[in-house]
Amino acid sequence: MLSACTSTQGSIAERQQAVQEMKTEVLTELYEVKPDVEGQVSQALGYAVFSNANINLIFASFGGGYGVLRNNLTGQDTYMKMGEVGLGFGAGIKDFRVVMVFHTQDALDRFMENGIAFGAQADAAAVADDQGVAFGGEVTVDNITIYQMTKSGLALQSTVKGTRFWEDEELN
C-alpha cells in the first residue's frame, strides 16, 4: 500500500499530471462533503493536497506520500513528498488524503521553509471501495486548516506523530 502513495513511474510530466489529477479528485470529494471549503481554498494564500498511506503496528506508526502545494498569489505549484512517524497504540493500515489551507503568508512561508508538523491523532477507519466509515476531521492550527479524508483501509489508532514535508526535487 505504501508503494501506491509514491508516484515513481513514468516521465516527469506524467508524474506531475498524476499528482495534479490526485489533487483535483481530492478537492472535488472534499467540496462534495463540505461545499464551503471551496471558497476557503480559493480565498486562501495557498493550499496543499497530499495522498498518504499509513501503517500502525501496535506502538509505532509510519507513513509516506506525495502531493502538491499551490501558492494562490503566484499560481506556482510545488511538488512535495511527505513522511511521518508516530508513537501510540493502534493497529491497521489506511490510505488517506490531507488538504491543508494556509490562511496567512507567515503560515505558508513556515510550511515551505520548515515543512514540519507535530500533533496527536485518534481515529477509526473501515473503508473499502467507497463503502464503510472513516472518522477524520478538520482542525485549525497556526493559521492552517487541515482536512483529512480516509480513502481506504482498516485502522484503529491513537498516536502522537511528527510529519515532515519536503520538495520533490525530481518533479520541481
User: Which tens digits make up the pLDDT trace of 103-159?
Assistant: 999 999 999 888 866 554 444 444 445 544 343 566 767 788 888 887 654 444 444
Longest dimension (CA), the chain: 44
For residues 78 and 48, is the Cβ–Cβ distance under 8 A?
Answer: no
Which residues are bridge partners to 147 per DSSP? 99, 138
Query: In Å, how far from its chain's centre is CA 130?
Result: 19
Q: What is the pTM of this model?
A: 0.78
Query: Which secondary structure element, helix H or strand E, spans residue 38, and what is its range?
Result: helix 36-43
